[in-house]
Amino acid sequence: MSATTTSQPERVRVRKNFDQVAWTWMRYSAVLLIPLAWFHLVLQDVVVGVHKITTDYAIERMANMGWKIYDILLLGFAFAHGMNGVRQVFRDYIHNPKTFRAVSILLLIFWAVITAVGAVALLSINPAAQ
């Protein structure tokens, strides 16, 4: 005998919301940042060795286009995580929606500028020219 007359739908569709996307992004990006950070740590401090990291080593590595792109993407990604966190902190303090929107845009610009500066700096490293 069936003990139910379930009225509840099995699945519901909920319209996406920016805060939902931002919240979810924070979780997934945080999870991804863990192996990225560990990879970085293990590579530099164990595989390469912390005493071997010199300006020469850094310049040599940055000659590789693959590493350049990797580092630019890592910068953009980790920094976006951070800026989104800052944005969520501001949520608690800025109650005026217009002000909040303006601040969010400023954070976005800040993120874009810093990432761009970083990218330019990385790309401009050219050991052959020295």
Q: Which is nearer to other proteins, 7 or 55 (CB)?
A: 7
Give the number of other Cβ atoms within 10 Å of residue 7's Cβ.
5
In our burial notation (b when 16+ CB lie closer than 10 A, e otherwise), range 57-75 reads eeeebbeeeeebeebbebb
Whole-angstrom Cα distance, residue 35 to residue 105?
30
Return residues touching other proteins (CB under 8 A).
1-15, 17-20, 22-24, 91-93, 95
Q: Which is nearer to other proteins, 23 or 39 (CB)?
A: 23
Running DSSP on this structure, what letter comes out for residue 49?
I
Closest separation in Å from C-beta 87 to other proteins: 11
Q: Which is nearer to other proteins, 13 or 98 (CB)?
A: 13
Q: Which is nearer to other proteins, 88 or 126 (CB)?
A: 88
Closest separation in Å from C-beta 91 to other proteins: 7
Closest separation in Å from C-beta 92 to other proteins: 4
Closest separation in Å from C-beta 90 to other proteins: 10
Strand, coil or helix: what is 31? helix
Q: Are 82 and 125 in contact (CB under 8 A)?
A: no
